[in-house]
Amino acid sequence: MHTRSVWSLPAVLLSLTLAGCGGGASQSPSKGEKAGGPPVAIVNGHTLSTQEVKAKLEEQPPVVRGRYTSLEKKKEFLDNLIRFELLVQEARKRGLDQDPEVQATLEKVMVQKLLRTQQEAAAAAPDDAEVRKYYDEHLSEFVRPERVRVSHIFLAAPQGDAGKRAQARAAAVKLLSEVKAQETGAARSAFELAATQQSQDDGSKSAGGDLGFRSREELAQGWGATLADAAFGLKTVSEVGQVVETEKGFHLVKLLGRQLGVEQSFEQAKSRIDSRLLAERRAKGMEDFINGLKTQARIEVKDDALEQLKIEGVEGTPVPPASASARTE
């Protein structure tokens, strides 16, 4: 004798109910109709066709589908469909198909179906030329060099003035020793304080010497290749390097952050761009579709009624007291 576990019926019925939101057994051809293949069962005059049973099976996860290969298991699944259909028919007899909650759920499902259909119909996939154009116009998103964020303390000493350079070098070495001795990792570090007080780079001293994120090329263009090499040579955040000598003078350099470089070829980025353009196209198509519906519709908004709408818990509306059962828990 075949036995059914106590949980299998609710579980399968729930699965069928969720799947049925997109069109369930109650929508299949009536008795005598040939569409959907030959009937597998007839429930109070309503036909369950082979195609319908097959579709319901295919809606199940692969692990579940694998259980229904034998005739006995197929009968078990069909029995669940029959039970589901009986419940649908009984719900209709009781007028639940006209229940406001059911109608509201149906409206949501219909709108979801409309949106899916409209999205699929309204937006064609971008061609290779469009994808390439996007790649070329947004190249910095897919190809960018490694960048570091550094702070520096700059002591000016132009080349050609040996005495001033020697004096600046000695000051930089002394300042480096003091900064390293006082660095504590506090919110405003000794390095930052020294930069605001002693750096001769007017562009960065007010920011504690922070130069922001720069590529090696950007640092070299602004301060020379030697400073760029020293900045990129720092390995850990908050590390302070040795005194750096450039044509313009002497620098103390501290690493604040690092961004790895990105180098995606067109072929590597193609699928990502394709998906993005398609999503943007679908969103634009949906917005145009809804705006078209608005244009054709007669819409009147009652601001006074909207103003009077109160939402519980906000706008000064008191929250209803908890129930007696809730208060006693």
Q: Is the pLDDT of residue 12 over 70?
A: no
The per-residue pLDDT for 328 is 41
* DSSP codes of every residue in 103-119: HHHHHHHHHHHHHHHHH
Backbone angles phi, psi at 308, to 5 degrees: -80, -10
Residue 85 · residue 26 · CB < 8 Å: yes
- Angstrom distance (rounded) from CA 88 to CA 30: 15
**End of a domain among 59, 80, 98?**
98
The verdict on 255 and 195 lying in the same domain is yes
Residue 218 has a CB neighbour count (10 Å cut-off) of: 15
For residues 87 and 177, state if they share a domain: no
The pLDDT assigned to 20 comes to 46
- Tell me, yes or no, whether 244 and 156 share the same domain: yes
Does residue 119 lie in a domain region?
A: no
Looking at the structure, tell me whether residues 57 and 154 fall in a common domain: no
Of 225, 243, 260, the residue at which a domain comes to its end is 260
Q: Could you give the number of structural domains in the chain?
A: 2
- Beta carbons within 8 Å of 168's beta carbon, 6+ residues apart: 155, 156, 157, 249, 250
The answer as to whether 271 is a domain residue is: no
Quick one: what percent of the chain has pLDDT higher than 90?
Answer: 50
Residues 214-240: tens digit of each pLDDT: 999 999 999 999 999 999 999 999 899
- Whether residues 152 and 244 share a domain: the answer is yes
pLDDT reading at 25 higher than 60: no
Q: CA-CA distances (angstroms) from residue 41 to 182, 215, 250, 310, 316?
A: 86, 72, 90, 52, 59
Q: Is residue 72 domain-resident?
A: yes
Range of the domain at 17: 8-98
State the pLDDT confidence band at 325, using cuts at 50, 70 and 90.
very low
Tell whether 241 is covered by a domain.
yes
- pLDDT single digits (tens) 256-275: 999 999 888 999 999 999 99
Residues 93 and 175 in one domain: no
Which tens digits make up the pLDDT trace of 30-68?
444 445 788 989 999 998 888 988 888 888 888 888 888
Q: Comparing 70 with 317, which gets the higher pLDDT?
A: 70
* Contact criterion met (CB below 8 Å) for 317 and 310: yes
CATH number at residue 211: 3.10.50.40
User: What's the pLDDT band for 117 if we cut at 50, 70, 90?
Assistant: confident
DSSP for 237-292, written as a single string: TT-B---EE-SSEEEEEEEEEEE--EE--HHHHHHHHHHHHHHHHHHHHHHHHHHH
The reply to whether 86 and 150 lie within a common domain is no
Among 260, 286, 307, identify where a domain stops.
Answer: 260
Q: What is the DSSP letter of 184?
A: -
* pLDDT at residue 8 is higher than 60: no
> Mean pLDDT in the chain?
83
Q: Is residue 294, in this structure, part of any structural domain at all? A: no
How far is residue 189's CA from residue 267's CA, in Å, rounded to a whole number?
Answer: 45
Same domain, 181 and 88: no
The per-residue pLDDT for 242 is 94
278 vs 130: CA distance, rounded Å: 11
Asked if 139 and 263 count as a contact pair (C-beta separation under 8 A), the reply is no
Lowest mean pLDDT among 70-79, 110-119, 176-185, 230-239: 176-185
Note whether 160 and 219 are same-domain residues: yes
pLDDT of residue 32: 40
Residue 154 and residue 93 share a domain: no
Q: Provide the pLDDT for residue 235.
A: 92
Asked if residue 281 belongs to a domain, the reply is no
Q: Are residues 153 and 256 in the same domain?
A: yes
Q: What is the pTM of this model?
A: 0.50
195 and 259 Cβ atoms separated by less than 8 Å: no
Give the Cα separation of 7 and 89 in Å (integer): 23
Residue 177 located in a structural domain:
yes
Distance of alpha carbon 24 from alpha carbon 241, whole angstroms: 70
For the packed helices 225-233 and 216-223, what is the interaxial angle rounded to 10 degrees? 140
Angle between helices 50-58 and 71-93 (to 10 degrees): 100
* Average pLDDT of span 288-314: 85
Neighbouring C-alpha atoms within 13 Å toward the C-beta of 206: 2
CA distance 139 to 124: 24
17 confidence band (pLDDT: 50, 70, 90): low
Residue 116 lies in a domain: no
pLDDT at 316: 58
